[in-house]
Structure 1
Amino acid sequence: MELVVTHASADFDAFASAMAARKLHPGATVVMTSGLARGVREFASLHRDRFPWLAPADVDASAVTRLVIVDVRRASRLRAIPALLARVERRELEVHVWDHHPASDDDVRADVVHVEPVGSATTLLIEAMRARGIEIDEVEATLFALGIHSDTGSMQYASTTSRDAEALAYLLSRGASMRVMSRFLSVPFTEAQRVALASALDAIETTRASGLRVAIAAIELDTPCEGLDEVASELFRIELPHALFLVATVPHRGRANVIARAREGTIDVAALLGAMGGGGHPTAASLSMRDTTREAIVHALRDAIARHAPRPLRVIDVMRSPVRTIAPDHPLVRLRDELPSWRVSGVPVVNGGALVGIVSSDDVERAEREGRLHLSAGSCMSAPVRTIDVCAPVEEALDRMTEHRVGRLPVTREGALVGIVTRGDLRALLYS
């Protein structure tokens, strides 16, 4: 007997990859270990005859000969199948893994491993089906497309790859319904979610960790709230910190959940919560705990954040130095020819060691059009100058350029000019 399993509270990627694995392993039985996420449950209910599954209690663990694990490989996230995990440890089962999460210390031992850094586990299974010439219909294509949309944020997450896009394009060519996808990807908030979001907005506290803005919202609920991950995502969208931790406790149930979100390249929330028994992606992770208090969790999180927060990239790491400058009486007619030869689009204007303005190529071109090229740089320089400290995070430089609509920021240390950072420098950094 072949069994396909995935993690508890299966999202669309987990559910879709499980059903895709059944296509690769005809005759295999799918087991949903512990519930389905909110939108998935509605879809699965409507399509139960097309995508059947069993609960762990309905399966004779001793009869299983091959275990196919999808969208997960951490044993701690498969606690609902202890008898099967025990047989895996005794090497009594052939184990296949299809996953896209980073490796961890408690990964399940596997005989065949399909793990690659793509945005969605479903993508890997779609590629395998295409390679084997396995046909799919429009209903299957829609489910598989939902899986890819779910774990790539509809192609917006930084972990998304061209392979995810190619798999999604193939599914659309096989009849995946955008109308059906939009219905199940955009499920309205429940009253419990709205209450949780309002409470989180009231409770949120923001601190700095290695220059990064980290938000923690610790709330207490009267009853468990389904869809806390959606609440955390909405809170993250509203507040836009570098990292967010939503802590929700239900005291009389003795349970607590932590949902984390982070910007790419800031805090690896999967590693942070993984050290506490959770897991997920570097930008989205979760943790479930019992018999603990909200205060204890927040204290543990603050300690973990201090340990895991990386040194942020600072302006000093990307600025150009030494910086070329000119005096206020520098002739514009000379500057017109010098800027291209210097390969810059603007220069700071310094008078007696003090930064007094900045002249861009646009300023020089405007002066030429208006017949003012015979004047000096001081006649068309922009002042006062927006500057940034040498130790400021790069994110701050990006925000400041956007806010003030400038293309360059002179960099200072204790008031002295030490370099310059341009939108081209930051653009190169973003695209790298």
Structure 2
Amino acid sequence: MKVITTHPGMDFDALASLVAAKKLYPEARICFPSSVSSEVKQFMAVYGDIVPHVLPEEIELSKVSELILVDTRWITRIGSFRNLVGEKGVKIYIYDHHPPHPNDIHGDGGLCRETGATVSILTRILRERKISITPIEATLLILGIYEDTGSLGFTSTTTLDLEAAGFLLSQGANLELISSFLNRSLTEKQTALLNDFIERAEKRIINGVEVVIIVAEVDEFVGGLSLPLHKFIDLKNLEVVFALIKARERIYIIARSRISSVNVNEILSSLGGGGHNFAASALIKEQDIKEVEERLHHLLKEKIRPRQTVRDVMSSPVRFASPSTSLKEAKDLMRKHGILTLPVLEKGRLVGIISREKVDHVMAHNSGRASVKGYFSPKAFTSPPHLSIKKAQEIMMEEETRTLLVLDNEDLVGIVSGPDLLRAFHEGTQGSSYLESHPHKNDPPGPREPEFSFATLPKDKVRPRSISGKKGQLVKDLLEKRVPRKIQRISEQAGKVGQRMGFRAFIVGGFVRDLLLGIENLDVDLVVEGDGIKFATELARQLEGELKRHRGFGTATIVLPYGFRL
């Protein structure tokens, strides 16, 4: 007999994975775990007929020849089926998306990848094997993906989850139906718990990271603890939260993280729990909650990696002008070093900022002999060096500015631009293991031609960072699999030209983000260290293209013989 089962407290990802696995093993019986989540219980009350199943007590273990586990591989989370592990003649197949853990079972087959949802892995297999999926099945499967990825919004969401969701929509998945199960209102007890979260939340700065810790006690266990916690996180826009909830003799810890420097799976594994890098939980019995809180605090100080700050990404030293600097001198300085804004300092003190756009506008109507004094803006946005790059981005978005000047006390020590932050965020992107072997055929290019823009950044204003090792191979593989060969050849040639000229070139902007997410984007921004026009001139010669220089902006356009524009 073949049996498919999952973990206690079965959620929608686990339920959907059971259904998907049944399509891979049609002769197997689905066995529900000893408990299911309240949301799944409500779903089954209405739609239970579409998932025929048995309960553990109905299974005679001695007759089981194959055990298929989905959404778990912990030996401590499969109930009585743990007795089959290591049994002669029993094969175990595992499909799971959790990171490795000491409690893991090592099966005879299956597929384990760190993705947003287990059902995404199974959906990919069904698609590759061309196994048909009905619209009802597609709806249940996408419900599992949406629940575990926060409707594809959690940081744990991967390209595979996006592709699986897109495929299921093409098979008739009904998003209107699943919204009624995902957008749930709080029960009376959950609402009371949410109010407790708001009242008891305590912010702590640990290794430069803001962590919110909540300690609460309830008379009896409240089902669906994660729902009020998610509401609280969204309400306060928090990045890292640990909630310790004591119910009688048990302490439930639920942790959520939106940043890669805080791996909650690693932290709670030290307390006997686990889960994902961005979502984990633990259950502790018969211990004092204050002692548990103290242990957690020590773990946080030990495990949280210091977060990138403005000091880590800023460009330094800073080119600047004085009020007496002529507009022509300011323009020449910005053009020479490929910068678009100049801080204005008077006797070493920051008094304002002037942009390349402002200088060009004034010089178009007046002589360049006029000084900066009458035209710079006293409104300059600043940041201390210890500010996190996330907070820096928030300030730049709120103030609609492209640069932040970094002040240590009153000393100007650096400048941060949008591209600086973008590089920092992308370097922090966590590569998932499935990407290294995920097959993907090149899609034909869309109706519009891609465009490359060449901009100039000076070597002393950019901190070059190379992508190497596993992440480097990841990016290389994605370029080969997702980008049309025409663009690949051009980027390779650009790299060779840059190497010969001693320049470094970076692809930045939305293209990089969409490449990692698996979204087609053929608008590419290429930033060059040094003289962008000089670089473009040589590249145009190599590609036999027509060069159009835009000296006022330090940029250039290349039109290739077949009409392709760079």
TM-score normalized by the length of structure 1: 0.93
Q: Tell me the residue number matched to 2:313.
A: 318
Aligned partners of 1:249 and 1:293 also within 8 Å: no
> Which residue matches 1:419?
414
Is 1:6 matched with 2:6? Answer: yes
In the TM superposition, what whole-angstrom CA distance separates every residue of 1:137-192 from its partner, at most 9, and x where no partner exists? 11111100101111221111222222222211221121111221111111211111
Q: Secondary structure at the match of 1:179?
A: helix
One-letter amino acid matched to 1:76: T
1:67 equivalent to 2:67? Answer: yes
The 5 A counterparts of 1:31-430 are: 31-78=31-78, 80-81=79-80, 84-90=81-87, 92-251=89-248, 254-368=249-363, 375-383=370-378, 385-430=380-425
Which has the larger displacement, 47-56 or 63-72? 47-56
Deviation at 1:260, TM superposition (A): 0.8
- 1:69-96 Cα deviation digits (max 9, x unpaired): 1111122333x23xx2133144552111
Q: Is the CA contact (8 Å cut-off) linking 1:88 and 1:109 kept in structure 2? A: no
AA aligned opposite 2:61 = A
C-alpha displacement of 1:66: 0.9
What residue identity is the alignment partner of 2:53? Answer: W
Q: In 2 relative to 1, CA 169–33 (structure 1 residues): closer, same or farther, beyond 3 Å?
A: same
Q: Quote the Cα distance in structure 2 between the aligned partners of 1:255 and 1:58.
A: 30
Comparing 307-316 and 49-58, the one that deviates more: 49-58
Distance 2:52 2:219 in 1: 34
- Structure 2 unaligned runs (5+)? 428-566
Q: Secondary structure at the match of 1:49?
A: helix
Distance in 1, Cα, partners of 2:122 & 2:207: 39
- Looking at structure 1, the residues matched to 110 and 409 of structure 2 have their Cα atoms a distance apart, in angstroms, of 55
The whole-number CA distance in structure 2 between the counterparts of 1:50 and 1:378 is 75
1:217 aligned counterpart, secondary structure? strand
Kindly provide the amino acid, as one letter, of the partner of residue 34 in structure 2.
Answer: S
Change (3 A) 1:234 1:371: farther
How many residue pairs get aligned? The number is: 427
Give the conservation status (yes or no) of the 8 Å contact 1:407–1:423: yes
| Residue 39 (structure 1) shift | 2.3
Offset at residue 365 of structure 1 (A): 4.5
Secondary structure, counterpart of 1:245 in structure 2: strand
- The separation in 1 between residues aligned to 2:423 and 2:35, in whole angstroms, is 44
Aligned equivalents of 2:377, 2:334: Cα separation in 1:
16
Greater CA deviation, 369-378 or 121-130? 369-378
Amino acid paired to 2:422: R
Contact 1:212 1:242 in 2 (8 A): no
Residues in 1 aligned to 2:357 and 2:62: alpha-carbon distance in whole angstroms: 76
- CA shift digits 1:44-73 (9 cap, x unpaired): 222222102222222222221111111111
1:364 CA drift (Å)? 2.6
The Cα shift of 1:384 comes to 5.3
**Consecutive unaligned residues in structure 1, runs of 5 or more:** none
Aligned partners of 1:53, 1:369: CA distance in 2, in Å? Answer: 77
Name the CA distance, whole Å, in 1 between partners of 2:350 and 2:96: 55
Distance in 1, Cα, partners of 2:40 & 2:358: 56
CA deviations over 1:294-335 (Å, ceiling 9, x no partner) = 222222211211111101112221111121111111122443
TM-score between the two structures when normalised by the length of structure 2? 0.72
Contact 2:344 2:351 in 1 (8 A): yes
Take 1:156 and 1:364, find their aligned partners in 2: how far apart are those partners?
A: 42
Q: In structure 1, what is the Cα distance between the partners aligned to 2:41 and 2:372?
A: 66
What amino acid does structure 1 have at the position aligned with 2:306? R
Aligned equivalents of 1:375, 1:272: Cα separation in 2: 60
For 1:339-376, what per-residue CA distance to the aligned partner results, in whole angstroms no more than 9, with x for missing partners?
A: 24422111111222222221123433554577586532
Q: Cα gap change, 1:369/1:250 in structure 2, threshold over 3 Å: closer, same or farther?
A: farther
Q: Distance in 1 between matches of 2:265 and 2:2?
A: 30
Provide the alpha-carbon RMSD of the alignment. 2.0
Higher mean C-alpha displacement, 282-291 vs 379-388: 379-388
**Deviation (angstroms), 1:213:** 0.6
What is the match of residue 29 of structure 1?
A: 29
SS at match of 2:85: helix
Provide closer, same or farther for how the CA distance between residues 221 and 371 of structure 1 changes in structure 2, counting only shifts above 3 A. farther
The secondary structure found in structure 1 opposite 2:48 is: coil
* Alignment deviations for residues 208-264 of structure 1 (CA, whole Å, 9 cap, x no partner): 11111101111111221111111111111122333101111112xx12211111113
**Native 8 Å contact 1:66 1:95 kept in 2:** yes
